[in-house]
């Protein structure tokens, strides 16, 4: 008999992204991480749907093996997310990864789509048990990249499989043998893009609190891992779940279980999750456009003025490119103050609101971002735009050949802008 004797988890927005689009479920015997993507809050919606659908189906059906039921739920989650994306343009192109581990009486059952990962720590050795569905992992398999190159590759966050984008999805599933005291980790790529497997293993076999002996609570390690990912830059949302399993895979025995572990008390192991389990799913903060505007502050992305767009050959510049607009603006004030004032008056009335129903693509803190409004700074510092959805794609990872057209600040509908950006996030070839 196997049982989970301890678990710990944490999710963190990281240091760059304005919102947390990861969701998780940590409720014995099921541990799952989903990493969402898509415009506005669509990524968060998708990742929450994935863990909720996975969870809700387990208690209902009795037919089939655990692996079959989990796989069915992943397929179901994919269909529901896909339908939602089709039915609402605000959610166009949304998707999510999903990696889940279920401890049954004898095995660990794993289902997996995307680049969230499952690891096992056994006897001081950390081993990765899932294979990313990502561009770089494909290239490694084809022998075109070494694992070391893949770990540093600028496009390592591009995934080739997700729940939501297509009506069908291929689900990896596996049934693994477990040994007494194995520790498993499910995590999002916000951890593994920042820390090498070597570094993660070092942390998990260290004693972060400086003590010399005895088992430390798993929470100590969860916190150390999340903190290390943030210290390394925290470029993405970070979610880490750890759980320790006791017993062995012999049916009906309780190998090593007597008195050694910390029982989970009110959650009997091996039971199916109850109907109130939503409490265990991560509740992420909702970020409004107003938050983003506030956050944009002075290091906001600075779309160029229309004049600069018309004559600037370097339309693809990132957020740190200099803005030569100041001079022109002052000249404009001297030449035609009345025209300028009239323009401001117009904009401050109806024009402003009209401008807020359109969108364009720009960059924000170095990430490809959907903006609401018009890509235009008026005199007196009036901005007609605000960051609506910063994606997970760094500007400098976009193919230079498409960068120029991507950042031409063409006016788009929200659905169009979101679709473009989320296809970039999935690594598709886009024609902006």
Q: Which residues bind Mn ion (CB under 5 A)?
A: 35, 188-190, 236
Q: How far apart are CA 29 and CA 243, in angstroms?
A: 10
The nearest distance, CB 156 to Mn ion, in angstroms, is 11
H or E, element range at 5: strand 2-12
CB of 193 to Mn ion, least distance (A): 7
Least CB distance to Mn ion at residue 18 (A): 14
Q: How far is the CB of 14 from Mn ion (least distance, A)?
A: 9
CA dihedral 285, 289, 294, 297 (to 10 degrees): 120
Residue 165 CB, shortest distance to Mn ion, in Å, is 16
**Minimum distance of Mn ion from residue 231's CB (angstroms):** 18
Rounded CA-CA distance 191/309 in Å is 38
Cβ proximity to Mn ion, 1 vs 368, nearer residue: 368
Pair 43, 300: CB distance under 8 Å? no
**How many angstroms from the chain centroid is the CA of residue 48?**
12
Q: How far apart are CA 113 and CA 105, in angstroms?
A: 24
Measured from the CB atom, is 188 or 305 closer to Mn ion?
188
The rounded Cα 163 to chain-centroid distance in angstroms is: 13
Q: Which of 187, 234, 223, 233 is nearest to 35 (CA)?
A: 187
Q: Tell me the chain's radius of gyration from C-alpha atoms.
A: 24
* Least spacing, CB of residue 130 vs Mn ion, in Å: 15
**Residue whose CB is less far from Mn ion, 89 or 230:** 230
Specify whether the CB–CB gap between 8 and 242 falls below 8 A.
Answer: yes
CB of 239 to Mn ion, least distance (A): 8
Asked if 399 and 73 count as a contact pair (C-beta separation under 8 A), the reply is no
What is the layout of strands, in order, in the sheet containing 2-12?
2-12, 238-247, 183-187, 117-122, 125-128
The pair of structure tokens assigned to 208 is 């972060």
Q: What is the DSSP letter of 10?
A: E
User: From the CB of 64, what's the least distance to Mn ion, in Å?
Assistant: 31
Residue 162 or 218: the one with the smaller Cβ distance to Mn ion is: 162
The least distance separating Mn ion from the CB of residue 343, rounded to whole angstroms, comes to: 42
Distance CA 189, CA 419 (A): 22
Count the Cβ atoms, other than its own, within 10 Å of residue 68.
13
Q: Determine the distance from the C-alpha atom of residue 127 to the mean position of all C-alpha atoms in its chain, rounded to a whole number.
A: 23
User: What ranges make up the beta strands (E) of 74-182?
Assistant: 95-96, 98-103, 107-113, 117-122, 125-128, 172-177
Nearer to Mn ion, 93 or 190 (CB): 190
In the bound state with Mn ion, the residue whose beta carbon lies nearer, of 239 and 305, is 239
Q: Which residue, 190 or 362, is less far from Mn ion as judged by CB?
A: 190
* Nearer to Mn ion among residue 55 and residue 117 (C-beta): 117
Sign of the Cα torsion 413, 415, 421, 427 reads negative
Q: Which is nearer to Mn ion, 35 or 52 (CB)?
A: 35
For Mn ion, which is the closer residue by CB, 35 or 246?
A: 35
Angstrom distance (rounded) from CA 88 to CA 376:
28
């Amino acid at each position: 008999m196997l049982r989970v004797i301890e678990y710990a988890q944490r999710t963190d927005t990281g240091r760059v992204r304005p919102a947390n689009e990861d969701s998780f479920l940590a409720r014995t015997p099921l541990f799952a991480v989903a990493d969402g993507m898509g415009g506005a809050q669509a990524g968060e919606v998708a990742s929450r749907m994935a863990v909720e659908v996975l969870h809700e189906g387990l208690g209902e059906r009795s037919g089939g093996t655990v692996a079959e039921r989990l796989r069915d739920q992943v397929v179901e989650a994919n269909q529901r997310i896909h339908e939602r994306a089709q039915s609402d343009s605000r959610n166009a192109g949304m998707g999510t990864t999903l990696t889940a581990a279920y401890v049954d009486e004898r095995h660990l059952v794993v289902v997996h789509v995307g680049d969230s990962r499952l690891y096992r720590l056994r006897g001081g050795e950390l081993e990765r048990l899932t294979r990313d569905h990502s561009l770089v992992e494909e290239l490694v398999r084809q022998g075109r990249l070494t694992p070391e190159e893949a770990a540093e590759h600028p496009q390592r966050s591009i995934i080739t499989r997700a729940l939501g984008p297509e009506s069908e999805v291929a689900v990896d599933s596996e049934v693994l043998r477990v040994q007494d005291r194995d520790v498993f980790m499910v995590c999002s790529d916000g951890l593994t893009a920042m820390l090498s497997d070597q570094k993660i293993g070092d942390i998990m076999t260290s004693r972060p609190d400086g003590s010399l002996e005895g088992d430390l609570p798993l929470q100590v390690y969860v916190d150390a891992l999340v903190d290390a990912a943030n210290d390394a830059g925290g470029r993405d949302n970070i979610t880490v779940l750890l759980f320790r399993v006791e017993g062995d895979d012999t049916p009906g025995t309780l190998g090593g279980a007597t008195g050694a572990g910390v029982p989970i008390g009110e959650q009997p192991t091996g039971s199916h999750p109850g109907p109130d389990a939503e409490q265990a799913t991560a509740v992420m903060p909702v970020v409004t456009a107003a938050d983003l505007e506030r956050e944009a502050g002075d290091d906001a992305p600075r779309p160029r003025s229309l004049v600069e767009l018309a004559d600037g050959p370097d339309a693809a510049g990132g957020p740190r490119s200099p803005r030569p607009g100041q001079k022109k603006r002052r000249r404009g004030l001297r030449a035609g103050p009345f025209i300028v004032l009239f323009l401001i008056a117009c904009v401050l009335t109806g024009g402003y609101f009209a401008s807020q129903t359109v969108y364009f693509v720009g960059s924000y803190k170095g990430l490809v971002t959907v903006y609401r409004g018009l890509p235009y700074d008026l005199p007196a510092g009036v901005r007609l735009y605000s960051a609506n959805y910063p994606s997970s794609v760094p500007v400098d990872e976009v193919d230079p050949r498409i960068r120029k057209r991507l950042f031409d600040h063409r006016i788009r509908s929200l659905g169009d802008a979101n679709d473009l950006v989320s296809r970039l996030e999935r690594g598709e070839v886009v024609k902006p």
